[in-house]
Chains A and B, each alone.
Chain A
Amino acid sequence: MTVTPAPAVPSGLASARLGGRAGRTREQPPTGVSRTAGYWFVALYVGLLLLLGIAPAAYAIYLAFAAHTGGGFASAFHAAFTDYRFWPAFGHVLEFMALWLVSQSVLVVGLVLMLHSMAQRVGAVFRFLFYIPGALAGAASVIVWLFMLDPQASPFALILHWFGYAQFNNTIAPGNLPAIFAIMAFWTGAGGWIVVMYGALNNVPHELIEAAQIDGANPFQTAFRIKLPLIRKWVVYMLVLSFAGGTQLFVEPTVLAPAAQGIGITKYWSPNQLAWFVASEYNQYNEAAVISVVLLALGLVIAGFLVWRGRLFGAD
């Protein structure tokens, strides 16, 4: 899953600034500073925010609640929730996320701690190498992994044969899809998080680690008892953000579909695909809007939670 091509923005944490020095009193500009100039500076951005952020969300909510051909107030919700494709789509994505989030958390943390214990220059080379696949986020990474999963051409053919896959169709069997998407998501996204967490670790005072070593901590103890607790909130941040992004899965199953004809991957494998499917094939915009609103609400709750927590983080 390609959450964003520019990964890992450790921003929620810095939002502590919001609470700021001025406290909760209404803003009083220093003398000589205009009270209205600020509006001009933010005007274009606010216009875009209203037109492309607030308006579409509001319109989707409106459509979700607008009467569904003859039905009542919440009939589009009823139609969506009883759609036989609705729950399987969420089920697929949940399965994908379970695999992805667990493996990503363990592996990213493990790799970061490992790279951080190496010489600075050597670590930098690996960090860069792991980061490069991020440039292929989107359709490109899916195609790359189609090649990697094709036992006939793949450089990893040996491993695929171990698993008993001799044909491309064996590898991309429906039951394997959540794992395959998890691998793609990890491949493009992990490097960005490694870079970010490494940066966070570099903020750990060197004396702290030295003190632990003088006290006789071995590298493992230093890594797990000192460093890990200090980047814990980054791990939480990564998990929460990845969870929000993961629910949106769209590119991978869509790009994979033409390559997997007859294997059983439908055009509504994930919720976003289903929303697009009912909108584009059946013009059921109300039902599509319901699915969007559910996904939007998930994203909003998670983002709101992080921003709110960001303030709490600022307190320590």
Chain B
Amino acid sequence: MAIPRRYAVRFVGLVVLLFFTAFFGVPIAWLFLASTKTDGQLLHSTPLAFGSLSTFAHTFHRIITYSGDSLLIWLKNSAIYSFGGTALAILAAIPAGYGLALTHFIGRRTLLSITLIVMIMPATALVLPLFLEMNKLGLYGTVWSLILPFGFFPFGVYLAYIYFSSTIPKDLLAAARIDGASEWGVFRYIALPLARPVVGLVGFFAFVASWNNFFLPFVMTYDNSQYPVQIGLQQLIGSTATFNPADYTAGASVEVLRRPDLAMGVLIAVAPVLIVFLFAQRTLVSGMLAGATKE
């Protein structure tokens, strides 16, 4: 008996889709569930079973108070670096995008080309040169060694450039000029009020990029009190018995963590970005498509 080919194709498609749904989705679901279980349950119960809320609360307390509230310190540092960098990125990118899109000056095209090149280049390519430079300038180990590089965000400039050149009619600006508005006045009272969506967009991307950045703070910070949460996570692995049996068996004075503690740590560390992803999904997607639509 021959199965119609149509159904066979559909069946194969369904299997492929299920496989990738599991591949992308199960690790995240597992992460949430792991934080509700004890280490023993993690090993012996069904992988995707729910533990209990009391275990969740207990684990939460354990990881928050771990090593003198380290996690809270790291989160605070991450917040300082990311918000500082994001604020600077917005402050620099919005006027720059406007300038590139709607004003005229010699070198405008060159600046635009450089912006595109730097934007496409992986940001990590500049991390070690930045380290060498900050070292030379004596900024190594200060918050500026992170906030300044986070604030240098060519992608934000590009987004603002695309936004201003495609949404604000030049005639509108010309009219304001004829009415006697200064160049600054035109920007402040006409362009800026219309720019709210792109401010949000640049802010989201700059924030996510700064919060998730690992390489730069890895190089620029050297003390627990300076670490952002990305570097803190690496410290947590080092204290987790499963992944670091050497320290565990040596009976070192380090507090030993269990797998659920580490899972909870990851959840807390990514929570801000995860929330941005969940609630600003449409905005983020439209940003990624900024260059996709040619008008």
Contact = CB atoms under 8 A, between A and B. Distances in A.
B158 A152 contact: no
Interface stretch (A73-81, A84-92, A205-213, A288-296): A288-296
Contacts of A221: none
Q: Give the residue among A190, A292, A304 with the most B Cβ atoms within 10 A.
A: A292
Interface string B281-292: 100110111111
A236 interface: no
A42 B111 contact: yes
A268 to B, nearest CB: 13
A34 B183 contact: yes
B277 A296 contact: no
Contacts of B133: 55-56, 59
Interface string B68-108: 00000000000000000000100111011011100111101
A28 B105 CA distance: 9
A310 B294 CA distance: 13
A140 B187 contact: no
A3 B122 contact: yes
Contact of B277 (A9, A132, A148): A132
Interface residues of B, number: 116
A118 B55 CA distance: 41
Given A45-B157, A49-B152, A6 B209 contact: yes
Contact of A140 (B42, B126, B270): B270
Interface of A: 2-18, 26-30, 32-42, 44-46, 48-49, 51-53, 55-57, 59-60, 63, 107, 110-111, 114, 126, 128-140, 143-148, 150, 152-157, 168, 187, 190-192, 195-196, 199-200, 203, 241, 244-245, 247-248, 250-251, 254-255, 258-259, 261-262, 272, 275-276, 279, 285, 288-289, 291-292, 295-296, 298-300, 302-304, 306-307, 310
Given A18-B116, A272-B128, 12 more contacts: A6-B205, A11-B119, A15-B116, A39-B105, A53-B126, A56-B133, A60-B132, A130-B20, A139-B269, A143-B266, A244-B122, A259-B237
